[in-house]
A and B are shown apart, each in its own frame.
Chain A
Amino acid sequence: MYNRILLAVDGSENSVRATKEAIKIGSSSPNCKFEVISVADFSKAKIEILHAQGKEELELKRREKLAPIEQILKQGNVSYKIKILHGEPGPTIIDYANKEKVELVIIGSRGLNSLQEMVLGSVSHKVVKRVHCPVLIVK
């Protein structure tokens, strides 16, 4: 089975569901290691800095957003490490997956409305197109 799985999360409902599915897949293999990636979006950097009193508070906020996911991973009894990367979500996940040669990417389909999707293109769509390994999109 898969030994290195990239799980891309943003703290949303969709990514919580993706985490649950990920555990179903990962727990079948004892050597499976999850690399949980969350991307701090470049386009939100200004707002986030402006509304946070200092670096520590911002880092705490970002960790807090991932708390439900971390809890599921702990309960699922799988080995994982969480990384917060900075960049534009789609390209950053793709770069990481291809560079680190993970075996599977799991990502939630993002809840954008159809107009936003037309304009921005969904992250999961970009990931499917450009990642070199199998991708699981969780609805």
Chain B
Amino acid sequence: MIDLILENTVLTIYVIVPEKEVGDQLIERLRKEWFFNVKGDVLAGIVVALALIPEAIAFSIIAGVDPMVGLYASFCIAVIIAFVGGRPGMISAATGAMALVMVPLVKEHGLNYLLAATILTGVIQALFGVLKIAKLMKFIPRAVMIGFVNSLAILIFMAQVPHFWGISTMTYIFVAITLLIVYVIPLFFKAIPAPLIAIVVLTSVVIYSGLDLSTVGDLGNITQTLPSFLIPDVPFNMETLQIIFPFSIALAIVGLLESLLTATIVDDMTGTESNKNREARGQGIANIINGFFGGMAGCAMIGQSVINVKSGGRGRLSTLVAGSFLMFLLLVLGDLVVQIPMPVLVGIMIMVSIGTFDWSSFTYIMRAPKADAAVMLVTVIIVVATHDLSKGVIAGVILSAIFFVSKISNIEVHQRLENNRTLFEVEGQLFFASVEGFVDAFDFSVSDKDIVIDFSSSHIWDDSAVGAIDKVVLKYRENNNLVKIKGLNSSSKKIVDKLAVYNDVNATISAH
């Protein structure tokens, strides 16, 4: 870890060298970003490619498209993001979160609209990156993020149910055996991802025994060709835009959310920093190109990125190898992919959903502040009800914003007598949400008193706050009280001096 930090420092120093050394600088940068960990990156990339195949197929099936769409997407995104991403060592490909968002679009309008939506998603994400939207991530509270991963897990699981529920006993048995393999084998043997072992072993069993199980081939085709450039076959008009735009916005939000969360996790695991805005822009560029090559929209994957780092992947090379090796495997083994039994994929997806779910949420609900727990639950409920991750996230963010405002809008006014004067001490934030409580705290029935309102423990935020102060002061004056304001901090004083009318002796409360 220490080495990595030092390397980063070296890198920043190189940025300011004179121009003639630009060549050296480039080579140095290439080494630092690409070739500082060649062996680890290549090995980890291969492991990730093996683990990506079943997921890319399963997510295609969730989205309702041919497995090739997810496989092309995984290849394109991984390879492109290796060059343009902001977080080296992170794996991006076709994901469950994105697949779930696009289901209705594919169902109603078909693949070409999905490809067009993917390109538009990329454009939106690239814009977000250029506009430095990554900063906005801090407005998304952890309760919403926990709700996000939990609802993602629930939706992935729900998407599997039709593929195994009430089909045949053999289906249940194969799902169970798959789960057994993916959970038990890693305890003893870690070199090859267990899901791939399950696929190879169980597919062979089915082929040789001739068992009657549905296969990937029943749901779509596999073609053993490299993806090629195409322009989505949709009419280029407003109607098309109206269809794809809502989906593209949702995809852009969900994709960036998962990508930036994953980037933070990879940051932490590797003890390094990453450029979140560059990552957002990179995700956009990757999706634009991906759409033109027939892939479905994708984003960073938490599970795969963790596998990559655990397997020793650190640099951009690992992502590049993952994508390229995936394509290589596909060209060689494409024929076999269609013979993978669906129950095996279902088993693997159940594992993915169990791994995605945040199991500490149960203690979180008990221990976290009630408002946070409510935000988390509302996020999950809305996602599960609407099947749209972006709606849940937006609702969660709005709800937690409301909770936050109501929490800080608590304002207290303490009254005491001091040297024949009535002293009111105001404690809390005075703004549009707290003015009502503020005004109600005063008793205006008194007359001919000497009144001081002390704002030392308060802050005046907006013109409704100033209006409320005016109202209080003028109401007291109506009954011949003498009112003085004190203790305003400098920024509060500025806004009060600018807007308040109470300093004008002749002022009265306006009629409304």
A and B bind: yes
Q: Which of A5-13, A45-53, A67-75 contacts B (4 or more CB under 8 A)?
A: A45-53
The digit string for A26-57, where 1 denotes a CB below 8 A from any CB of B, is: 00000000000000101001111111111100
Distance between Cα atoms of A77 and B305 in the complex (Å)? 43
A50 touches B146 (CB 8 A): yes
Q: Does B246 contact A (CB under 8 A)?
A: no
Which residues of the partner chain B approach A54 to less than 8 Å between Cβ atoms?
A: 138
A119 beta carbon closer than 8 Å to chain B: yes
B contacts with A, residue count (CB < 8 A) = 23
Residue from the list B138, B265, B267 in contact with A46, Cβ < 8 A: B265
Q: A49-B264, A86-B268 are in contact. Are A42 and B309 (CB under 8 A)?
A: yes
For chain B residues 465-490, which have a beta carbon within 8 Å of chain A?
A: none
Pick the contact of A45 from B138, B265, B360 — CB < 8 Å?
Answer: B265
Q: Using CB atoms, name the residue of chain A closest to B267.
A: A55
Which residues does chain B contribute within 8 Å of A112, judged by CB atoms? Answer: none
* Known contacts A46-B306, A47-B360, A85-B1: A53-B268 contact under CB 8 Å: no
Does B152 sit at the interface, judged by CB under 8 A? no
Contact B146 A49 (CB under 8 A): no
Chain B residues with CB under 8 A of A53: 141-142
Bound-complex Cα distance A46 to B310 (A): 13
Min Cβ gap B364→A in Å is: 7
Contact string against A for B residues 299-310, beta-carbon threshold 8 Å, 1 for contact and 0 otherwise: 000100010011
Distance A85 CA – B141 CA, assembled complex (angstroms): 27
Kindly identify which residue among A48, A51, A52 contacts B364, using a CB–CB cutoff of 8 Å: A51
Residues of chain A within 8 A (CB-CB) of B264 are 49, 55
Cβ-based interface call for B149 (8 A) = yes
> B268: which of A49, A51, A85, A119 is its contact (CB, 8 Å)?
A49
Known: A45-B265, A45-B306, A85-B1. A50 touches B145 (CB 8 A): yes
User: Is A64 on the interface with B (CB-CB < 8 A)?
Assistant: no
A58 within 8 A of B: yes
CA distance A58 to B146 in the complex (A): 16
Q: Does A88 have its Cβ within 8 Å of any Cβ on chain B? A: yes
- Let me know if B112 is at the binding interface, CB within 8 A: no
A6 to B: closest C-beta gap in Å = 15
Contact A86 B302 (CB under 8 A): no
Determine the distance from Cα of A30 to Cα of B502 in the docked complex, in whole angstroms.
Answer: 72
Choose from A42, A52, A85, A86 the contact partner of B306 (Cβ within 8 Å): A42
Complex CA gap A46/B300 in Å reads 14
B302's partner among A46, A48, A52 (CB-CB below 8 A) is A46
**Residue contact A51 to B269, C-beta cutoff 8 Å:** no
Question: Complex formed: what's the CA distance from A42 to B306 in Å?
Answer: 8
Cα A46 to Cα B150 with chains together (Å): 13
**B61 → A minimal CB distance (Å):** 25
Question: Separation in Å of the A59 CB from the closest CB of chain B?
Answer: 9
Which of B268, B302, B309 is most buried by chain A, counting CB atoms within 10 A of its CB?
B268
Determine the residue in chain A with the shortest Cβ distance to B187: A119
Cβ of B270 < 8 Å from any Cβ of A? yes
Q: Looking across the interface, which residue of chain B has its beta carbon closest to that of A40? A: B268
Question: Does B261 interact with chain A (Cβ within 8 Å)?
Answer: yes
| Chain B contacts with A in 264-280, Cβ cutoff 8 A | 264-265, 267-271
Complex contact A50–B306 (CB within 8 A):
no
Q: Which residue of A lies closest to B146 (CB)?
A: A50
Inter-chain contact B306/A51, CB cutoff 8 Å? no
Residue of A nearest to B188 (CB): A119
Inside 8 A of B364's CB, which chain A residues have their CB?
A: 51
Give min CB distance, B300 to chain A, whole Å: 13
Contact between A88 and B142, CB atoms less than 8 A apart = no
Chain A residue numbers with a CB within 8 Å of B149 are 50
Contacting pair B146 A42 (CB below 8 A): no
Give CA–CA (A85, B149) in the complex, Å.
26
For chain B, residues 170 to 199, give those with C-beta under 8 angstroms from any C-beta of chain A.
187
Verify B187–A42 contact, CB threshold 8 A: no
The distance from the CB of A96 to the nearest CB of chain B, in whole angstroms, is 10
Cross-chain contact B145 with A48 (CB below 8 angstroms):
no
Query: How far does the alpha carbon of A45 sit from the alpha carbon of B265 in the complex, in Å?
Result: 6
Contacts A42-B310, A46-B265, A58-B268 given; does A51 touch B138 at CB 8 Å: no
Interchain CB contact (< 8 A) of A51 among B1, B142, B261 = B142
Note all chain B residues with C-beta closer than 8 A to A119: 187
Q: How far is the CA of A58 from the CA of B302 in the complex (A)?
A: 18
Q: Which residues of B contact A40 (CB under 8 A)?
A: 268
Residues of A close to B270: CB separation below 8 A: 86
**Smallest beta-carbon distance B117→chain A, Å:** 29
A86 lies within 8 A of B1 (CB): yes
- Residue pair A45, B145 in contact (C-beta under 8 Å): no
* A46 to B358 alpha-carbon distance, docked (Å): 9
State the Cβ distance, A32 to closest chain B Cβ, in Å.
Answer: 22
Determine which residue in B149, B187, B265 has the highest number of CB atoms from chain A within 10 A of its CB, and name it. Answer: B265
Residues of B within 8 A of A50 (CB): 142, 145-146, 149, 261, 358
Closest to B356 in A: A46
Q: Which residues of B pack against A, CB within 8 Å?
A: 1, 138, 141-142, 145-146, 149, 187, 261, 264-265, 267-271, 302, 306, 309-310, 358, 360, 364
Residues of A in contact with B (beta carbons under 8 Å apart): 40, 42, 45-55, 58, 85-86, 88, 119
Jot down 25 A-B pairs with beta carbons below 8 A, ordered by A: A40-B268, A45-B268, A46-B306, A46-B358, A48-B268, A49-B261, A49-B264, A49-B265, A49-B268, A50-B142, A50-B149, A50-B261, A50-B358, A51-B146, A53-B141, A53-B142, A54-B138, A55-B267, A55-B268, A58-B268, A85-B1, A85-B271, A86-B270, A88-B310, A119-B187
Q: Which 6 A-B pairs have the closest CB atoms?
A: A45-B269, A49-B265, A86-B271, A45-B265, A53-B142, A45-B268
- Told that A50-B145, A50-B146 touch, could you supply 6 new A-B pairs with CB distance under 8 A? A46-B265, A48-B268, A50-B261, A58-B268, A86-B269, A119-B187
